[in-house]
Structures are given as structure tokens and as C-alpha cells.
Structure 1
Amino acid sequence: MPNILAPLRSRLARLGDAGRKRSSLLRRIPPLRDLLELAARLGYGARGFVYLSVGVLVLLATLDIIGDAVGVKGALEWLSQRPLGRVWMLLVALGLTAFVMWRVLQSVFDADHEGTSREGLGTRLSQLFSGLSYAALAVGAFVLFAGPRAADASEGVVESRERAAMLLDLPFGRWLLVAAGLAIFGIGVANVVKAWREDFSEYLDCSARMCRRVTPLARIGHVARGLAYLPLAGLVVVAGWHASAAEVTSFGAALEAVERRAAGGWIIGLIALGFIAFGTFSFIEARFRRIRPPRELKVR
């Protein structure tokens, strides 16, 4: 693949140089590396806005100020109904698209220089899956920009059950659904483990004192994200074990089910605060993260 991309990169570089020589307007355009860095920072900011919104809405739902707890998709639907909702959706969609682009640079082109060791490849693989999930979220934001609709928790549950039913219709569908639940459980556990093992200050370009102050936000946020996946994972595993799509629910409905349990309101409230912490740390990353776009788009 690098041999195929090399002639294309060279041709684009020559076209860019020729255009800058002929046009004063093109000469004012920053270099590609600067544009990629700007896009990455906007992407971190968009991620921060999404998680901050989710955390605030879940916290308000826990305090019975608004309706039921909502997931990320439900939060976007709720925001799309507010004043200037379509403007917000467009900005979020564009920001998440920029973040997906940065995830591609991290995972495919190794922008963070993780290398090809087992640990490095594992990190890059997780970045790739993260990019895919944010790509789906960006598409959802674009859809809401095209036509905002009221947030409906039951609709998310119906969609989840339809997907589960399609999976159950496949050969070994029951075990495939169990495997999907275990995969969700693994994502949750991985977030909790990352909270304690990762050195989040490694990628920040700030003073040691400031890094010590802000990295706890990342740890709290990852723990909250990890714990939030576990209720949904348990329900999906049980649904697969019983071969019953009716037992599958959505992310937001799973949190709502936890809230109805004893001390569930406190648990969901703490998770909401964790989402807010993660969103806040994403804004910090938007400002202080070391962004090092690869000099060459070479697959590593």
C-alpha cells in the first residue's frame, strides 16, 4: 500500500506547490500539518462537548429535573430540539468527523508513535475501534442536522432489539449475542484498567504541576465510562443466554434500570459526574495535547 500511495502523495505535493506559487490566497493557507493539528484539536473539543452534555443530562435525569436518563445518541437528540439545535448538530458532526480523521492518523499511520509492538498495536487497534464508534456518532449528528427529531428512549430500545433479533436468526446466533455482550463487558473493563494503568500526562504539553491536577479527571472519566457499559453488557449476555431479543435494551435504558435499584440514583449520579470529568479532560486535551501528524501518510 505505501508503494501505491507514494506517487499520489508526490503528485498532490507538486500540485500544491504550483498552486501556492500562482495564487496569493493559497499561499495564506497553513501547511497541511497545521491544518491536521487544528482538526485534531477541534475533534477533542467536540468529544468533550458530547460527554459533557451526556453527563449533565444524566445528572439532571437522576435529580428528576428532566425525563429518563439518556445515552450519547439520546443526548444529541435532546440537544437538537433546543434553540439553535441544528447549528449545534452541524458543529458537533464536523468536530466528530475531524476527530475520526485524527483517530485514523493515530491507528493507521501511527501519529502517536506507538510502534508495532504488541502493546503498541493494541493501543492503535483500540484507537481504530474508537474512530469507528465516533464515525457512527458523527453520522447520527449529521442526520439530526438534516431533520431534528424528539428524543425517544423507547425507539433506541426497539432498534437494539431488532439488531439482537437479526443476530439470533444467524447460525449460532445465541452465542453470537452472548459474545457481543462479553465484548461490551470487555470494553467496560478495559476503560477501568486504562484508568489506573495509563499515564495520561504523557501526551500533554503542560507543566508537571498542571498535569498532576488534570490527569485525575481522565482517570475518573474512564472509570465512569467503563462502569456505564457493564449494565448493558449484562443484559445482552442474559438475552443471548435465554435467546430472547426482548431482554436487550439501549445504553440509556440500561442506566435507567440501574437507577431504579437501591442506591441506583447515587451510582448513576456518580457515573454522570464521571462523564462530566471525561468531557472536561477532553477540552484540556484539545488545548494541551501533543498533536504530531505524521510527516508522510505511510501505513505502519
Structure 2
Amino acid sequence: MNTNVVSTSGRGTARRAANSKAVAAGARAGFVARGVIYLLVGLLALRIAFSDSGGKQADRGGAIAEIAEKPFGGVLLWVLGVALAGMALWRLSEAVFGQAGPDGDKPAKRAMAAGRAVFYGFVSYSVLSYAAGDKGSGSGSSDQQTADVTAKALEWPGGQWIVGTAGAVVVGAGLWIGVRAVMRKYHKHLKMSEMTKRVRRAVDFTGVFGGAIRGIVFATAGGFAVAAAVQHEPGRAKGMDDTLRSFAETPAGPWLLALIALGLAAFGMFSWANARWRKV
């Protein structure tokens, strides 16, 4: 038997499985789930901006806790966790077989897809663990977790350089996210020709505004990590919740945080647009 034929056939079967309707459905469900989380984080941040947070955290943990308090919240969390697992599976298939598009086989794109697969796998696990009864999973303070990780890292040999480099990478990622959103790079990933003119305007508004704000939040969080490294103070590093609250401490006060909150909510809506029109 020709082993090359068998190998080629096996790869073809695997690629077809990766491009199957099930994987595509998982990806679209994942975009819906991501949209829900960003929308809830935006709404929680908006409440914080006007001093009505009720002790809630404007981060993923706060969003999970918010869902859990609603009628059928446990069921919704299971659905959310499974949908995020679908997103992780889709990103994994991109890492193994390449993304849709002419340059989808580039090593850099595959590496990014692999990183996203790990991230969404972790988020899915934390949500499903919370739904299964582990209330400490997924709902913990992102601020405390960030401070704890930073403190441990600073104790390592060369810890300041490690934390500082990680922070700089996050700053760079935030700027990259924001610039690509403003340049509307997402157009190549969406079926723009299938949208009406009104829908395209709405998608561009949420994509540019939401993506730019998301990039700003990432870059700001990375900046705090760099400051923690330079000053050797773990407390300087901030999670999502404290990063968002920091915008209210600027001269613009709560109005800047409100703008950031609306941007995150807009990105949630943009994620829903991806669920409908993304090329997967």
C-alpha cells in the first residue's frame, strides 16, 4: 500500500473535518458568547461610571456572576461555556490547517490561532467549572489575580524584565488591535458583499469604535504592568476591572469610563456581526 496516498488521504479527511459545518457552527456560537461577555462587561462598567456598581466587577468574572444571578442563569452559563469551547476548537483547526483566505497558512497566523485556542479553551473551562458549582472558577477578581501573578513573577530571577516585557507585549497588542480596527482590517474576514448598506454602516461603527476602545483598554492594562515592573510594585499591575476604573480617575472623570464602557458594548455587538458574517 502506498503510504503517501494514505497520509494525503488522512490529511484531507482531517482538513474536511476542520472545515465542517459543525466547526463553523461552533465558531459562530463562540462569537455570540464573546459578544455576550463584552456587552455585559460594558454595561457593568457603565454602572460603575455612575456609582451604581453594587460591588460588581467590570470583567469576565463580573459578567459570569451577572449571568448566574438571572433566571435560568446556570443553563445559560452551560450554553456559554460550550459555545466558547466551539470557538477554541475553531481556532485550533486554524492553527493546524490554516485560516480562511489566501494567506491563512502563514506560520504567524497559525501561531496566533493557537494562542487564541488556548485562551478560549481556558475561558470555556472557567465558565463551565463555575456552572458545575465551582464558584471560585472564572468569577474571581481579575485585579487580585493579576497582582498575585505579577508578585510571583517579580520574585523570579530577572522578574522585572519578564513582567516589563510581558507588559510591553500587551501594550503592543492593544495598539495593534486598535490600529487594525480603525483601518477596518476586519473587512477581509467578513462577507461584506452580503450586507445591506445600512448593515455595513452599523458593522463599521461597532467594528471601528469597539475595536479601538478594546485596543485602548489592552494597551492601558499593559502600561500598568510595565509600571509595576519598573517600580517593582505588584500592586501597580491592574486587571480588567481596575483598568476600567482608572479611566474614571482621569480629568474627564466618569464620562471617559462611560465612553470606554460603550465601546466595549459596541465590540460585543460587533462580535455578534461576526457570528453572522464571518468567513469560517
* TM-score w.r.t. length of structure 1: 0.79
Q: What pairs up with 1:153-164 in 2 under 5 angstroms?
A: 155-164=141-150
Whole-Å separation in 2 of the counterparts to 1:105 and 1:150: 30
Report 1:180-219 matches (<5 A).
180-205=166-191, 206-207=194-195, 209=197, 210-219=199-208
- Identity within the alignment, %: 24
- In structure 1, what is the equivalent of residue 228 of structure 2? 239
Give the letter aligned to residue 200 of structure 1. Y
Distance 1:130 1:116 in 2: 15
Letter in 1 for 2:243: A
Q: How far is 1:53 from its partner? A: 1.5
Deviations, residues 177-228 of structure 1 (Å, cap 9, x unaligned) = 1111111111211111111233333333313623344222111111011111
Q: How does 1:261-276 map to 2 (within 5 A)?
A: 261-276=250-265
Map residues 282-297 of structure 1 onto 2, 5 A cutoff. Answer: 282-291=271-280
The equivalent position to 1:257 in structure 2, one of 242, 246, 256, is 246
Query: What do residues 236-275 of structure 1 show as CA deviations (whole Å, max 9, x unaligned)?
Result: 1111112222322322112112213321312211111111
User: Which residue, out of 90, 99, 106, partners 1:111?
Assistant: 99
Partner of 2:120: 134
Report which of the two structures shows the higher radius of gyration computed on alpha carbons.
1
Query: Could you tell me how far apart the structure 1 residues matched to 2:213 and 2:80 are?
Result: 22
Which residue number in structure 2 is paired with residue 93 of structure 1?
81
For the 8 Å contact 1:153–1:252, the answer to whether it is kept is no
> Relative to structure 1, is the Cα distance of residues 57 and 174 closer, same or farther in structure 2, using a 3 angstrom cutoff?
same
Match of 1:296 in 2: none
Task: State the one-letter code of the partner of 2:251.
Answer: A
State the alpha-carbon separation in 2 of the partners of residues 148 and 251 from structure 1: 22
Q: What do the CA deviations read for 1:129-167 (whole angstroms, capped 9, x no partner)? A: 233222221111012112264899984333222211221
Task: Count residues with an aligned counterpart.
Answer: 271
Q: Does 1:60 align with 2:47?
A: yes
- Conserved 8 A contact 2:164-2:229: yes
- Partners of 2:259 and 2:112 lie apart in 1 by 25
In structure 2, the partner of 1:294 is none
Residues in 2 aligned to 1:152 and 1:35: alpha-carbon distance in whole angstroms: 26
Equivalent residue letter for 2:177: N
Deviates more, 1:132-141 or 1:71-80: 71-80
Name the aligned partner's letter for residue 262 of structure 1: P
Question: Does the CA-based 8 Å contact 1:86-1:148 persist in structure 2?
Answer: no
Cα distance in 2, alignment partners of residues 202 and 7 from structure 1: 30
- Against the structure 1 CA distance between its residues 149 and 261, is the aligned structure 2 distance closer, same or farther, given a 3 Å change threshold? farther
Give the Cα separation in 1 of the matches to 2:266 and 2:39: 8
RMSD: 3.1
Alpha carbons 1:90, 1:145 under 8 Å: kept: yes
Q: Which stretches in structure 1 are left out of the alignment for 5+ residues?
A: 14-29, 292-300
CA 133–264 in structure 1, closer or farther in 2 if over 3 Å, else same:
farther
8 Å CA contact 2:163–2:226 kept in 1: the answer is yes
> Are 1:84 and 2:72 matched, yes or no?
yes
Q: Is the partner of 2:20 in helix, strand or coil?
A: helix
Q: In the alignment, is the contact (CA less than 8 A) between 2:147 and 2:238 conserved in 1?
A: yes
The equivalent of 1:37 in structure 2 is 24
Q: Is the 8 A contact 1:47 1:279 kept in 2?
A: yes
- Read off the aligned partner of 1:250 and give its amino acid letter: G
